[in-house]
Amino acid sequence: MDQQEQIVINLIVNAGSARSSAIEAIQYAKAGDIEKAEESLGNAKEAVNEAHHSQTEMIQAEIRGEKAPLSLLMVHAQDHLMT
């Protein structure tokens, strides 16, 4: 796996983790467990920040002239982050 693929995989993993933690936070909040909801929300924020970092790495590489081929995996990663 090359570096570009690893960045895309990290983006997918962290975006998925952020989404899962955010949903978990909502479930805890609905159940009245605000402490666990806040903890899950904190985890979601950390994961989305990591995903954003991966996305920023890809953008900076392109600015440096390192063109990445558009792949279905990259499109999926961006879609995953946006949802």
Q: Which residue has the tokens 């690893």?
A: 6
- How far apart, in whole angstroms, are the C-alpha atoms of residue 4 and residue 17? 20
Q: What are phi and psi of 18, to 5 degrees?
A: -60, -45
- In the chain, the largest separation of any two C-alpha atoms, in whole Å, equals 50
52 catalytic? Reply is no
Single out the catalytic residue among 52, 53, 76, 80: 76
- Compute the half-sphere exposure of residue 55: CA atoms within 13 Å on the CB side of its CA: 18
Residues with a catalytic annotation lie at: 76
